[in-house]
């Protein structure tokens, strides 16, 4: 399998067309549409018949040489001498015109031009009268044939973009010289429906004769008088009717009109996410600001006074602590002095001190002897002195009342 790149394929097409002699010098007849004059003097337009159209370019040198600067107008029946050109970088085919024979406009084109001039003068096509399409339509009215491909194309595109959108069909015939008033009544019915947010008026492509009912004055007036925004989607991109001029917006095709009327649900989801993120950020910022304000308010109303109060109390506490310390030291010194005096008194009463002075402790059978009446001759006694003890045996025990009298 030989797989070609886009460049290889387009180059192959261009080489094939360039080798075809018959395509270098062809005569093509059709009606001029979408005529545009570039600032360089080049003319760009399309030639259309009942079923097809093709883009045409006439270079400024040819326009000047042939004296066609002011002659190329929409609606003219012309025959051009041209060569087929393929622009391989973009994959587009068009005609490069080298000459043109201009015929007269068709009766329908003349009638179209006359009615367009009249309605233009009456202000039917003024931008000031046009309404903006709703940002998010929940219900769309469709004025078209129930059996045509237009309805299918609109519903298919809408289902892909947002399946939640609802539709109401106002079925009307879309071809014939007498159906204009019927289409106008369909538009009026859609406009009167309170559920409908935007209206699409459409049909598929065709010849000027096929689309003529959309040039009917009653249809134009119905669109002009409608309070509901209307999108015209009549014919293909190269087809223009008076509906396209009076409508609030024009869709190149019915599918394009559906894209204009139906906001993608993904856009709503993205917007919801953005708003949710914004709300989170706004709440975070607001809370931070309130925290800052609360801190300032606390410092001004509570914080600084509280710190001043705490500082004052701390100073007072330090003063009390110092007073307590001083009082404790003074009390300790007083008690220490008293304790020293008691120690001296206790020391003076210490038996050991008495022993140092020559007193002794007498014991008999491990019991202290406090009276001579407790001893008898031959009792063994123990006499404790300051540096030790001696044992002895009582020879005599005499009671002397003189000592007790002194005590």
Contacts 24+ apart (CB under 8 A), 52-55: 53/236, 53/238, 54/28, 54/30, 54/93, 54/94, 54/95, 55/92, 55/93, 55/94, 55/95
Give the integer Cα–Cα distance in Å for 218 and 186: 11
**Dihedral sign, CA of 310, 315, 316, 322?**
positive
Give the integer Cα–Cα distance in Å for 376 and 393: 10
Nearest 5°: phi and psi at 399?
-95, 130
Q: What is the structure's pLDDT at 403? A: 57
Q: What is the structure's pLDDT at 353? A: 66
Which CATH code for domain 6-106? 2.40.50.140
Q: What is the structure's pLDDT at 61? A: 92
pLDDT in tens, the chain (407 residues): 688 888 888 888 888 888 887 788 888 988 888 889 899 999 999 998 877 889 999 999 999 988 888 888 888 888 899 999 988 888 889 999 998 888 777 777 788 888 999 999 999 999 999 999 999 999 999 999 998 888 999 999 999 999 999 999 999 999 888 899 999 999 999 999 999 999 999 998 777 788 889 999 999 999 999 999 999 999 877 778 999 999 999 998 899 999 999 999 888 888 888 898 999 999 999 999 988 888 887 777 666 777 777 788 888 888 888 988 888 888 888 888 888 888 888 777 766 666 666 678 888 888 888 888 888 888 888 888 878 888 888 888 887 766 555 55
Q: Give strand pairing partners of 367.
A: 364
Q: What is the structure's pLDDT at 118? A: 92
CA angle 172, 175, 179 (to 5 degrees): 60
Do 207 and 214 contact (CB within 8 A), yes or no? Answer: no
For the chain, which residues make up each domain, given as ranges? 6-106, 114-263, 353-406
Give the integer Cα–Cα distance in Å for 231 and 249: 5
Q: What is the structure's pLDDT at 290? A: 87
Give the integer Cα–Cα distance in Å for 90 and 99: 25
Nearest 5°: phi and psi at 241?
-125, 170
Do 379 and 362 contact (CB within 8 A), yes or no? Answer: no
Give the integer Cα–Cα distance in Å for 102 and 67: 12
How far is C-alpha 165 from the geometric centre of its chain's CA atoms?
23
Exposed, middle or buried: residue 108 (CB in 10 Å: 0-12, 13-18, 19+)? middle
Give the integer Cα–Cα distance in Å for 394 and 278: 117
Q: What is the structure's pLDDT at 342? A: 86
Domain 114-263, architecture per CATH: 3-Layer(aba) Sandwich (3.40)
């Amino acid at each position: 399998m030989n797989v070609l790149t886009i460049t290889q394929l387009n180059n192959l097409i261009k080489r094939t067309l360039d080798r075809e002699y018959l395509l270098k010098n062809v005569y093509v007849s059709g009606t001029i549409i979408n005529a545009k004059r570039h600032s360089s003097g080049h003319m760009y337009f399309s030639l259309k018949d009942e079923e097809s159209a093709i883009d045409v370019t006439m270079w400024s040198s040819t326009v000047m040489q042939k004296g066609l600067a002011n002659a190329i107008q929409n609606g003219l029946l012309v025959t051009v001498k041209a060569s087929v050109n393929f622009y391989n970088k973009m994959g587009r085919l068009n005609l490069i015109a080298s000459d043109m024979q201009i015929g007269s406009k068709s009766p329908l084109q003349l009638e179209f031009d006359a009615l367009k001039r009249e309605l233009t003068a009456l202000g039917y096509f003024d931008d000031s009268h046009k309404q903006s399409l709703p940002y998010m339509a929940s219900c769309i009215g469709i004025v078209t044939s129930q059996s045509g491909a237009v309805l299918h194309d609109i519903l298919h595109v809408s289902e892909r973009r947002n399946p939640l959108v609802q539709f109401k069909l106002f079925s009307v015939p879309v071809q014939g010289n007498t159906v204009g008033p019927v289409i106008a009544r369909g538009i009026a019915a859609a406009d009167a429906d309170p559920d409908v947010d935007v209206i699409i008026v459409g049909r598929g492509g065709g010849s000027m004769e096929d689309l003529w009912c959309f040039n009917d004055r009653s249809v134009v007036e119905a669109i002009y008088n409608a309070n509901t925004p209307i999108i015209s989607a009549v014919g293909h991109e190269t087809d223009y009717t008076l509906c396209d001029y009076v409508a609030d917006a024009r869709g190149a095709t019915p599918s394009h009109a559906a894209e204009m009327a139906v906001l993608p649900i993904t856009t709503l989801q993205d917007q919801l996410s953005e708003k949710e993120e914004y709300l989170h950020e706004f709440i975070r910022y607001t809370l931070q600001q309130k925290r800052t304000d609360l801190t300032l308010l606390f410092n001004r109303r509570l914080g600084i006074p509280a710190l001043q109060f705490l500082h004052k109390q701390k100073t007072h506490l330090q003063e009390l602590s110092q007073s307590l310390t001083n009082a404790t030291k003074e009390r300790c010194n007083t008690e220490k002095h008293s304790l020293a005096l008691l120690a001296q008194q206790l020391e003076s009463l210490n038996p050991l001190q008495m022993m140092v002075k020559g007193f002794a402790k007498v014991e008999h059978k491990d019991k202290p002897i406090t009276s001579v009446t407790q001893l008898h001759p031959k009792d063994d006694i123990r006499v404790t002195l300051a540096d030790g003890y001696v044992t002895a045996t009582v020879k005599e025990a005499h009671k002397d009342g003189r000592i007790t009298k002194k005590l």
